[in-house]
Structure 1
């Protein structure tokens, strides 16, 4: 018995037991927690959401702006061919974002839950293993980019035409080599919010965007380096953001979480939990990538049958996809902002605060969605023109497609926040199901079916027109399913509050 006890004492950490780590001594009610973290369970919920949401929303917009900035500069410098190259590369870049969110959001969700339980060391092990996973996955991506056959296969999957392929290949290879900067700069950035410093999290992302924008202007418009210059500007900007994130966790003093080399040793149970909690975020982005692959294929197919042509169809709907993604990012920002609040309070068994945080988050996302919808409908020509689309017929087509695709935007926030709620509270399976409804289960079948059906029902629309009608229909169906899940969850929370059931995460 004594030998067994001694063996257990030598283990670096038993993840099934309470472990607060070294006392921070900043919260008099709980010396194992930092006051910045503990306030998530005591301060005003609307005030906390506002404090966390503003930098989180701006941060998501900043992160999404990388793709938009690339497209704007390439469109202005190279016209439709530059936009088409960015459109072809976009699904693969979304896959990279999905991987970053798989690792970063999963690790951050686990860290928030552990901090809510007062287990600081476990939270720091989550941070360390998140960085480790980022390094390993980035190395794999970089090695894969050295193989031309892999890149060409991805471009073929993304329906690159012969004219667009060389530009897309050059752009994508550079992005692959710099993936480590995106993976850490974006994924690990979320931990800064959980550490109670949302404004610092925003600053680390702003640094990258400012650098990327300035270098895009220099490399693309002034030096004429084209797609290579745009890709290089992007990864240099991401590297600046990555450096700022690592500096916070390594060199900043008196922070609730620190990055320690010893906690980067792989813990298989922690890695498994990180991946399971992050899979919902991955599913959202991966689903978006699948949708983009499908759309690119169908754009080439139906665009070739229309007066617009395949390359212009790629350029036009590529703009619509980027604007659509950009308008959804503030809603994702709300979901990301309330994630540490949900996780902390759920881990601390403060169920009433969990419920209030969810509803305040849904309300905020709905208001933002309505505002973004209004902006798109008031200034569609200006938005389209900013990407370098000037041909009258193509402008009209792009504007109409933009309005139709974003028809359900005011209500999409409910679906995004509702899906993220289950991830934040340690229920990844439910979150994955809800994530897949919007991106895969409903949208992909509609993309294939509507071009065959809609022209027969409404002859004024072509197969190409039908592609952008699929998104609002899929949004409606996924929102309906989310409503059902949330109703059932509210009943479960009442039982949890009364002690009739126990939470497991």
Structure 2
């Protein structure tokens, strides 16, 4: 049975599981790497290094955001063109995505290294944390020459329905990263710079795997030189559709500027170290949900292109059920064992005192977030850039940033006001997304009936 036939006719729960499980495993392993990386840094270098990592991490996520903008935008178009049986147009999209990520990597590396000090200051680096953040980010920026290609290409692999290969491309790098992290931080005593070196080496290993996949026997997206001709309309379409994904990550970086500076003001370096731990825990809670999203998107995009609105609605319903169940389970675990989680990173008494309550508050509304993530991803899959962008921005920009600015000043809440902003933003953005998504589902039902 061809992949196209499976996308359009296979039982929805079966195909969603087949595409989501590998993606979920890969995302969980990647999230586990982020936790292990932070544990190694916290235990091997100290909690001040965790604070430095908190400062540098949003910049790293910004690089990923730009790569995801191209990758998700290209993947959405590829899924729709494959659904419409137009493989040649799909290949031109892939070729243009290659051009975009190579140019992006060169620009990011050059500008990042030139302006590294002011960038880190903007993200809240204090004099004590600056050496750790700078040592880490300098190395990461070198890897940005090729890391955007890895991120973008992973989306393309999923777009043609090969979730297993997309999973393996992440797994080989993640496993290498964990091994190299331990080697560079403990036996070789290379500190936080060793952690960054482990990261870029593992990213290069993923790059080699992806190139071998595309030019091996398993991929149908074999780009030739004729497909590498720059097409401004394709570039524009990719950026527009992928802009919502970029907006999510860019909003995360904007959020980090506000959040890191607020944490530094109300709680100092210790509060930044606590958030560095919580940030990794949140990623571990969210990553399985993004695995389901990655399984859903090619199915929704393909069936939308094939005019099968009934299947689009079905995959959205099943995806919401799956993300909610995963988030509920993870949140209950986090609420029951917060001290154990914090101790994994560092057992400093002050860190534990701050961290346990903060973790419980921050993750309180995570179980409802799946609806918000699925809603934004749905509009991406349908190629509807504006609603995808608005919904993606809602949690971080419309709700979280204003709450962080206001709540610490209300009734002397201070640092607790910052932690409370997380569950409030989660709940408000979910309500906002639910209303918009319900309208779109009703529109598709009418289109199906007609």
SS in 2 for 1:196: coil
In structure 1, what is the equivalent of residue 440 of structure 2? Answer: 489
Q: Aligned equivalents of 2:113 and 2:407: distance in 1?
A: 39
In structure 2, what is the equivalent of residue 346 of structure 1? Answer: 304
In structure 1, what is the equivalent of residue 83 of structure 2? Answer: 116
SS in 2 for 1:159: coil
Across the two proteins, how many residue pairs are aligned to each other? Answer: 450
Deviation sequence 1:387-437 (CA, Å, 0-9, x none): 12x122321321111111111111100110111101101111101111111
Q: Is the 8 A contact 1:174 1:232 kept in 2?
A: yes
1:470 matched to 2:434? The reply is no
Q: How does 1:442-481 map to 2 (within 5 A)?
A: 442-455=399-412, 462-481=413-432
Deviation sequence 1:248-286 (CA, Å, 0-9, x none): 112x11532223233122111111111111111111111
Q: Is the 8 A contact 2:76 2:301 kept in 1?
A: yes
Q: Which runs of 5+ in 2 are unaligned?
A: none
Q: Aligned equivalents of 2:98 and 2:286: distance in 1?
A: 27
- TM-score w.r.t. the length of structure 1 is 0.87
Q: Aligned equivalents of 1:392 and 1:400: distance in 2?
A: 13
Q: 1:139 aligns with which of 103, 106, 110?
A: 106
1:194 matched to 2:152? The reply is no
Q: Is the 8 A contact 1:404 1:468 kept in 2?
A: yes
Q: Aligned equivalents of 1:213 and 1:101: distance in 2?
A: 23
Q: Aligned equivalents of 1:479 and 1:468: distance in 2?
A: 18
Q: Is the 8 A contact 1:63 1:186 kept in 2?
A: no
In structure 2, what is the equivalent of residue 232 of structure 1? Answer: 197
1:405 matched to 2:362? The reply is yes
Q: Is the 8 A contact 1:141 1:177 kept in 2?
A: no
Q: 1:102 aligns with which of 69, 81, 85?
A: 69
1:331 matched to 2:289? The reply is yes
Deviation sequence 1:142-184 (CA, Å, 0-9, x none): 111331xx10111110111111112211210110110133212
1:368 matched to 2:331? The reply is no
Q: Is the 8 A contact 1:412 1:475 kept in 2?
A: yes
Q: Aligned equivalents of 1:267 and 1:130: distance in 2?
A: 10
Runs of 4+ off more than 4 Å: none
Q: Is the 8 A contact 2:102 2:146 kept in 1?
A: no
CA-based RMSD of the aligned residues comes to: 1.3
Looking at both structures, which has the greater relative contact order when contacts are Cα pairs under 8 Å and sequence separation is at least 6?
Answer: 2
Q: CA deviation at 1:381?
A: 1.6
1:58 matched to 2:9? The reply is no
Q: Aligned equivalents of 1:490 and 1:496: distance in 2?
A: 10
Q: CA deviation at 1:451?
A: 0.1
Give the number of the structure whose alpha-carbon radius of gyration is greater. 1
Q: How does 1:24-43 map to 2 (within 5 A)?
A: 35-43=2-10
Q: Aligned equivalents of 1:412 and 1:418: distance in 2?
A: 10
Q: Which one has a larger percent helix, Structure 1 or Structure 2?
A: 2
Q: 1:296 aligns with which of 247, 250, 260?
A: 260
Moved more, 262-271 or 215-224: 262-271
In structure 1, what is the equivalent of residue 37 of structure 2? Answer: 70
Q: Is the 8 A contact 1:454 1:466 kept in 2?
A: no
Deviation sequence 1:342-401 (CA, Å, 0-9, x none): 00000000111111011011111111111111221222122111112x122321321111
Q: Aligned equivalents of 2:208 and 2:250: distance in 1?
A: 26
In structure 2, what is the equivalent of residue 385 of structure 1? Answer: 343
In structure 2, what is the equivalent of residue 287 of structure 1? Answer: 251
In structure 2, what is the equivalent of residue 278 of structure 1? Answer: 242
Q: Which runs of 5+ in 1 are unaligned?
A: 1-26, 28-34, 304-309, 456-461, 500-505
Q: CA deviation at 1:65?
A: 4.0
- TM-score w.r.t. the length of structure 2 is 0.97
SS in 2 for 1:372: helix
